[in-house]
């Protein structure tokens, strides 16, 4: 992607986020009331003794989860929660920063590409919490799906955004 294309994509992302946040403030969130969108900021943890988890712990938990879920060829299979399509993906990277959402919920965003199409990227979000001393993933969502533009080629189209760590559906 050229520098110009990258700037345009960043501008569009900021513009979209600003619009959504403006609507949220204007309508007090009522415009986004969607019972199908889960609130990921609270999930019960089975750990009774609190432990601090750091960036390295979150990334290690992610890599273990991805390796455990991938098949023998390293392909990560995931059913798209919106389309129902079974996706066959290869891990690319974990985005920085990973973060702690509350006392027991941690979050990581990742990139995976469609098998055989390295420019066709999905952005997957993972939520995890401590279970018997280890961070375990309890939910995975497609945050951004690949779309193709005649002008820019493949880009990632967001399905939702975050407001105060809460998922807000964009469509």
C-alpha atoms less than 13 angstroms from C-alpha of 142 in its C-beta half-sphere: 24
pLDDT (mean) for 145-158 = 96
Instruction: Please provide residue 151's backbone torsions phi and psi, each rounded to the nearest 5 degrees.
Output: -80, -40
Given a contact cutoff of 8 angstroms between Cβ atoms, the answer to whether 162 and 143 are in contact is no
Strand partners, 75: none
Distance between CA atoms of residues 36 and 126, nearest Å = 18
d(CA 79, CA 86): 4
pLDDT at res. 49: 54
> Who wins on pLDDT, 37 or 169?
169
Question: To the nearest whole number, what is the mean pLDDT of the chain?
Answer: 81
Name which residue leads in pLDDT, 27 or 139: 139
Share of the chain above pLDDT 90, in %: 65
| Whether pLDDT at 144 is above 60 | yes
Domains of the chain with CATH codes: 35-169 (3.10.450)
List, as one string, the DSSP characters of the chain. --HHHHHHHHHHHHHHHHHHHHHHHHHTTGGG--TTS--TT----S--S-----HHHHHHHHHHHHHHHB-TTSPEEEE-TTT-PEEEEEEEEEPSPPEE-SSS-EEEEEEEEETTEEEEEEEEEEEEEEETTEEEEEEEEEEEEEEEETTTEEEEEESEEEETTEEEE--
Confidence band of 46 (pLDDT split at 50, 70, 90): low
pLDDT at 25: 39
152 or 27: which leads in pLDDT: 152
Q: Which residues contact 167 (CB under 8 A, 6 or more apart)?
A: 37, 38, 39, 40, 141, 160, 161
Whether the pLDDT of residue 72 is over 70: the answer is yes
Mean pLDDT of 119-145: 96
The predicted model scores a pTM of 0.73
Given a contact cutoff of 8 angstroms between Cβ atoms, the answer to whether 46 and 104 are in contact is no
The pLDDT of residue 8 is above 60: no
Return the pLDDT at 171: 86
% of residues, the chain, pLDDT over 70: 71
């Amino acid at each position: 992607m050229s520098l110009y294309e990258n700037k345009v994509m960043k501008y569009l992302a900021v513009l979209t986020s600003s619009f959504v946040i403006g609507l949220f403030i204007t309508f007090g969130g009522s415009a986004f009331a969607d019972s199908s969108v889960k609130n990921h900021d609270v999930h019960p943890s089975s750990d009774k003794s609190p432990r601090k988890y750091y960036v390295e712990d979150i990334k290690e938990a992610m890599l273990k989860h991805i390796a455990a879920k991938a098949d023998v060829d390293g392909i990560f299979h995931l059913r798209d929660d919106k389309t129902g399509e079974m996706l066959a993906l290869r891990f690319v990277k974990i985005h920085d920063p990973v973060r702690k959402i509350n006392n027991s919920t941690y979050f990581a965003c990742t990139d995976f590409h469609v098998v055989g199409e390295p420019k066709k990227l999905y952005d997957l979000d993972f939520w995890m919490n401590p279970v018997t001393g280890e961070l375990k993933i309890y939910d995975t969502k497609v945050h951004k799906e690949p779309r193709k533009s005649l002008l820019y080629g493949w880009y990632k189209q967001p399905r939702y955004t975050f407001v105060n760590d809460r998922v807000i559906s964009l469509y």
